[in-house]
Structure 1
């Protein structure tokens, strides 16, 4: 099985679920198309990653799994922060509000291409500037969409509640992935 992602969190989730994965990240253009909604974007990117890796690296009978995760607030995408000021602005926007985390997943097996999007609502506690600054000083938010990691030592204390799959927020709705793989096996 190939995991078309270099995300350490996705790699860990797949391995913890018992999968021996080859890690081959996809190199695709991740620019949104004109008038493309965030949920359409994340599914398209997952499909493009899976197909790109499958066409170049997949061996006979091998399955490719790709995923892409976005954070969106009121329809606005919050990517990975470019610097600490950007991280501060994102966390200020998320403070006291509920946003969505969406992960697009694509599974390529034989001639089958299957994709889906999982969406989780995440509510932040109200954060004051000093809390945000302390969090940014940990370095934890700098490589994560939305400038936080729910699984992180400090990121987890920003979250008031979630409605949906915790692991989706981490970067891969692993239970749904496992079930999709089992469904594909039964129908083969």
Structure 2
């Protein structure tokens, strides 16, 4: 049975303002409500790699838990770029975006997305890692991208689906959709397992 039929008696709440994540849910044919609550995205320094987006995805679920009803499935998510043993979040300025892209130029980084599923009975978190290999980017290419695309809402200061991804990424290992912002196959698989 297709997922949208299996979920017809459930109410999906997507706690994400990301237009890319919202489009993925529409593309899956799922009915969902967007519910946003501001969360201070701070995590303990001891966390490593996937532990960071796992923690933040679970943190984003906290403000919504109290109001959940029996047939609600709350979905929260977080993405980081892991490079040189540190997490790159969303750049706060042009200089920071430029520095992030310069550091990733000619190297491999990992994009890690965690998705947390919360109901009145359980909380389950899954994550996926994709390895992304950038070519050696020129200063001119980085300047052009940051100026024209202003990637301040994107972890690691870039969107793979944008110009920089088209001209700058040599190869990826793992899910492309994960780099865009959601490991769709993991979401599909997990939703199926929650209601089996």
With the length of structure 2 as denominator, give the TM-score of the two structures: 0.89
Q: Which runs of structure 2 are paired with 1:1-188 in the superposition (5 Å)?
A: 1-56=12-67, 58-186=68-196
- The range that moved more, 45-54 or 81-90, is 45-54
Aligned CA-pair RMSD = 1.4
Q: CA deviation at 1:140?
A: 4.1
Question: Unaligned 5+ residue runs, structure 1?
Answer: none
Q: Is the 8 A contact 1:149 1:156 kept in 2?
A: no
Deviation string, structure 1 residues 122-176 (Cα, Å, up to 9, x no partner): 1101101011111112124222111100012443322111101111111110111
Query: Deviation digits for residues 46-105 of structure 1, max 9, x if unmatched?
Result: 11212332323x333111111000011022111111111111111100001000110111
Residues 80 and 111 in structure 2, CA contact (< 8 A), matched pair in contact too: yes
- How far apart in 1 are the matches of 2:193 and 2:87? 32
Distance 2:162 2:66 in 1: 35
3-state secondary structure, aligned to 2:72: coil
Moved more, 104-113 or 160-169: 104-113
- Give me the whole-angstrom Cα distance separating, in 2, the residues matched to 1:177 and 1:94: 28
User: How many aligned positions are there?
Assistant: 185
- Matched residue SS, 2:151: helix
* Runs of 4+, deviation exceeding 4 Å: none
